[in-house]
Amino acid sequence: MVPLANVNRETNLCLGVDPFWSKLAMLVTQDIVLRTYFRNTIVLGSQNLPSSGSLVLAPTHRSRWDALMLPKAVGRRVTGRDCRFMVTRSEMTGLQGWFLNRLGCFPVDQGKPSLQTLRYAVDLMIEGQQLVVFPEGKINRTNESITLHQGLIRLAQLACRKGVDIQVLPIGIGYSEAFPKPFGKAAICFEKPLVITQLKKFSAKEFNLELSSRMHAAEQAALHAVGRK
């Protein structure tokens, strides 16, 4: 049974995962949109995908297509768990926000995240959900080195204080073109997860260096798979 405090936080932030709209979204995005837009979608490193336990997905962010690729490769049909996206407030507005509100997404103020948002993210980790956080904080289509914010490690540390081990899965996503075109290729690669426990802790700097290194390795493998270097 989900604690009442968790339910209240969800009610204040989003509408959770609506069974009808989530199934419809899977049908439309995974069976129609991705299959018709890309001629091939490739998944690499599936052996690195944890099958249980609290999991934070940490993908590179190169396109809006990333948000469709992740549920297809690691969503309910594959793991039995939904992808719970932490997104910016601007994305939770208008018609798009109406749908995201019903697909398990919840907003965060990147400049000054509220205590309620942080607690809700920790709640999801404690419950063994799949939390999606884009550690770069924005779409980056350049060849610049991966630069990460410190929010992810802080969330993981908060959850660890509650006695929960956190697995952070580095993910690289690549497309055959920097701006994905119809009938191109797309690939997603999972690296070995970083595990944070009460006994195995990282400093923010150490964690970000290791995570960015693994994300970069995963991204390079994904780009290689679609014919880019």
Note the pLDDT tens digit of each residue in 56-70. Answer: 999 999 999 999 999
Q: Distance between CA 195 and CA 211 in Å, rounded?
A: 11
Domain count, the chain: 1
Range of the domain at 153: 4-225
pLDDT for 109 beyond 90: no
What is residue 12's predicted lDDT score, i.e. its pLDDT? 65
Q: Can you give the chain as a three-state secondary structure string?
A: CCCHHHHHHHHHHCCCECHHHHHHHHHHHHHHHHHHHEEEEEEECHHHCCCCCCEEEEECCCCCCHHHHHHHHHCHHHHCCCEEEEEEHHHHCHHHHHHHCCECCEEECCCCCCHHHHHHHHHHHHCCCEEECCCCCCCCCCCCCCCCCCHHHHHHHHHHCCCCCEEEEEEEEEECCCCCCCCEEEEEEECCCEEECCCCCCCHHHHHHHHHHHHHHHHHHHHHHCCCC
Average pLDDT of the segment spanning 192-215? 88
CATH number (domain holding residue 175): 3.40.1130.10
Q: Side chain identity at 87, as an amino acid letter?
A: V
Note the pLDDT tens digit of each residue in 7-41. Answer: 445 556 778 899 999 999 999 999 999 999 999 99
Average pLDDT of the chain to the nearest whole number: 89
Residue 144: band (very low, low, confident or very high) from pLDDT cuts 50, 70, 90: confident
Average pLDDT of the segment spanning 91-116? 89
Average pLDDT of the segment spanning 81-85? 95
Note the pLDDT tens digit of each residue in 146-187. Answer: 888 888 888 888 888 888 899 999 999 999 999 999 999 999
